[in-house]
Amino acid sequence: MARRYHRIVATDAETLVIGAGIIGCAVARELASRGVGTLVLDARDVGQGATQASAGMLAPYTEAHDGGPLLDLLIRSLDLYDGWIRDVRRESGIDIEYRRSGSLEVAFDAAGATHLQGAAHASGRCAWLAAEDLRRLEPGVTARAAGALSVPDHGYVSAPGLTDALARAVVRGGGRIQPAARAIAVDIRSDHVRVTLEDAQVLRADRLVVAAGSWTGQLRGLEGDAAAVRPVRGQLLRLRPQAPAITRVIWGPGCYLVPWAEGLVLVGATMEEAGFEERNTAGAVRMLLEAASTLVPALSEATFVDARSGLRPATPDGLPIVGPSAQSDRVVYATGHFRNGILLAPLTARLVADYLVEGRADPALDALRPRAARVGARRA
């Protein structure tokens, strides 16, 4: 559970960050570690948006089978994770749950097996497991499985725990976090940026980082840059099996499963065009329970703990929006990460901080920045 932070009196800061989810906290921690005075604003508490409903999977080869720029970003960020977690643990004093125990993507028929075998041949970091090898590795997986794609580099991190640790590192590094502060408008001036809050307070800063997730397009004054960001609801369940059911992340038709060290199994996740409705539905809970029990039959006897929902920020081209605004380089975006905010957090934080602190634009920003050409391509 994220810790609460006292509301502070609004004061000027060198850099404002709108959004205290995984991305906003990662960026703020990176800036604070480089000596930048940072204030994080959020309408809720730390990590209470999409982050609290995330399974924390770190699985680039499953998220982006078809390759392309997204896969390149995901792999690059995964390669940062070990060192990043080590640094955040040291700075925060929090022991974050993080495991690189691998993943299995299960095929149930010949067509699925052929597809996953092709993915294994295309990458040196994946391997195909025949059905008998799969059952030796994960006996709990259904006997109906035809085999699985094994990715030893994959894993997971506790998203709430990581976000809490990042927030602690921000504060210890001299930054500040202000919950219950809903930003509603941005006014970009030639020499500064002003952010108006719902309670009519106006904050002034040299620069602004927009990490508002699904709410990015609701910020007045930024409509031209990120109007295409939209919410996609994801529902997730937490189950407690009577005995350990699986040892690694497992994907199957209709769901994925993530085993946490405390004995829980996370079951996710739906993808629903439901606007800004953050609620769980009986139909989604039933569908996820059925899919999980089909994949690992023992889960049909697990204790139901709870259901959660969050709004993932999606973009039409599937790539996050990271980089300077088309209106002014005083405003930098870090939004639109959809299902990969946890995985892309360390890379996004580095890209944003390199740009703001060192004036260095990583080549990756060419595909991610909210330039007019990209907006036009999304609308086409």
Lowest mean pLDDT, pick from 55-64, 138-147, 365-374: 365-374
pLDDT tier, 46 (very low <50, low <70, confident <90, very high otherwise): very high
pLDDT at position 13 is 75
What would the DSSP string read from start to end of 8-66?
-----EEEEEE--SHHHHHHHHHHHHTT--EEEE-SSSTT-SGGGG---EE-HHHHTTT
Question: Rounded CA gap, 138 and 121, in Å?
Answer: 22
pLDDT tier, 376 (very low <50, low <70, confident <90, very high otherwise): very low
The total of other beta-carbon atoms located within 10 Å of residue 35's CB is 11
Is the pTM here over 0.95, yes or no? no
Question: Rounded CA gap, 152 and 145, in Å?
Answer: 19
pLDDT tier, 370 (very low <50, low <70, confident <90, very high otherwise): confident
Helices (H), 174-231: 223-226
pLDDT at position 282 is 98
Lowest mean pLDDT, pick from 5-14, 83-92, 98-107: 5-14
| Average pLDDT of the residues of the chain | 91
Location of structure tokens 């209106």: 327
Lowest mean pLDDT, pick from 52-66, 82-96, 206-220: 52-66
pLDDT, tens digit, 9 for 90 and up, residues 283-332: 999 999 999 999 999 999 999 999 999 999 999 899 999 999 988 999 99
Lowest mean pLDDT, pick from 60-74, 144-158, 201-215, 339-353: 60-74
Domains of the chain: 13-54+160-229+317-379 (3.50.50.60), 99-155+231-313 (3.30.9.10)
Specify the 3-state DSSP secondary structure of 124. coil
Give the pLDDT mean for 337-347.
97
Helices (H), 93-238: 110-122, 131-137, 159-172, 223-226
pLDDT at 7 over 80: no
pLDDT at position 12 is 59
